[in-house]
């Protein structure tokens, strides 16, 4: 089976049964989320320069924007660069490398990175997952601090579920009031993605933003105290212990050249 056919099949099998009706639903974005695992020193500087001067400009020329790049502030495996790439279609993301291969401007800017010798590689490994945006949050939303180029920090949360059914229930929970609870608590909601291809399936990932870590703690306190959240978590089918088996929680800082 061709990769494109596999992707369509995966998207249909995972997402089709989760339906949230809307009069005119907005087109949902797709996201590639990459992890560049690095070693401290020259390797990190080389990859930073590649992302800032070669990859992001080339992706923007393909209409893929804004591209977010983040370092880990709290979490495992440092140094690691996390790269969030939005696309209007899965096809666009899948065929990115083929398009970059014919982009002379990219090839010139990326030459040092692409031709790094085995004795001095540009990175250790790259891990990648493909996600589709939630129906209730179909597009990435930039925090106001991004446009103002002011201080900001991000929380990246991944929920793993024990079964496809329980995963669907967790997605449904967001569409049953959780977005609005986040809004009332003052969170910057950046994106919500359901993983189609990646590790530790089934899972979902979402990103929240804050001016600083003290704001993050205050907003989570407001979230947990919201009466609607208490009502939602008291609903048997949304019992957290039953539908979520593991939570990965990272605190990320945007690089100076990140567009998110």
Q: How many domains does the chain have?
A: 1
With respect to residue 14, please indicate whether it lies within any of the assigned structural domains: no
Mean pLDDT of 183-205: 97
With respect to residue 38, please indicate whether it lies within any of the assigned structural domains: yes
CB 192 within 8 A of CB 206: yes
d(CA 96, CA 62): 9
**What distance lies between CA 28 and its chain's CA centroid?**
14
With respect to residue 17, please indicate whether it lies within any of the assigned structural domains: no
Angle in degrees, CA 190, 260, 100, rounded to 5: 115
With respect to residue 3, please indicate whether it lies within any of the assigned structural domains: no
With respect to residue 111, please indicate whether it lies within any of the assigned structural domains: yes
With respect to residue 62, please indicate whether it lies within any of the assigned structural domains: yes
The enclosing domain of 102 has a CATH number of 3.30.70.100
Q: Which domain holds residue 108?
A: 27-254
pLDDT in tens, 50-74: 999 999 999 999 999 999 999 998 7
With respect to residue 203, please indicate whether it lies within any of the assigned structural domains: yes
pLDDT in tens, 117-173: 999 999 999 999 999 999 999 999 999 999 899 999 999 999 999 999 999 999 999
With respect to residue 15, please indicate whether it lies within any of the assigned structural domains: no
Mean pLDDT of 92-113: 97
């Amino acid at each position: 089976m061709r990769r494109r056919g596999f992707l369509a099949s995966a998207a249909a099998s995972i997402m089709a049964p989760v339906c949230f009706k809307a009069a005119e639903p907005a087109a949902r974005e797709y996201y590639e989320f990459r992890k560049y695992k690095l070693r401290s020193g020259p390797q990190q500087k080389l990859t930073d320069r590649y992302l800032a001067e070669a990859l992001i400009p080339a992706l923007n020329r393909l209409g893929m924007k804004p591209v977010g790049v983040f370092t880990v502030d709290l979490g495992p495996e440092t140094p690691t660069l996390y790269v969030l790439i939005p696309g209007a279609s899965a096809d666009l993301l899948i065929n990115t490398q083929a398009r970059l291969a014919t982009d002379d401007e990219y090839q010139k800017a990326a030459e040092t990175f692409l031709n790094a010798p085995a004795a001095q590689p540009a990175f250790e490994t790259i891990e990648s997952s493909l996600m589709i945006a939630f129906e209730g949050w179909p597009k990435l939303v930039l925090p106001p601090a991004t446009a103002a180029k002011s201080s900001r920090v991000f929380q990246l949360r991944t929920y793993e579920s024990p079964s496809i059914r329980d995963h669907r229930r967790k997605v449904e929970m967001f569409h049953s009031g959780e977005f609005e609870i986040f809004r009332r608590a003052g969170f910057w909601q950046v994106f919500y993605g359901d993983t189609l291809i990646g590790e530790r399936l089934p899972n979902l990932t979402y990103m929240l933003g804050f001016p600083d870590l003290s704001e993050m703690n205050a907003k989570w306190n407001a979230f947990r105290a919201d009466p609607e959240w208490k009502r939602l978590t008291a609903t048997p089918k949304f019992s957290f212990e039953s539908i979520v088996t593991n939570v990965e929680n990272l605190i990320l800082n945007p690089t100076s050249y990140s567009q998110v």
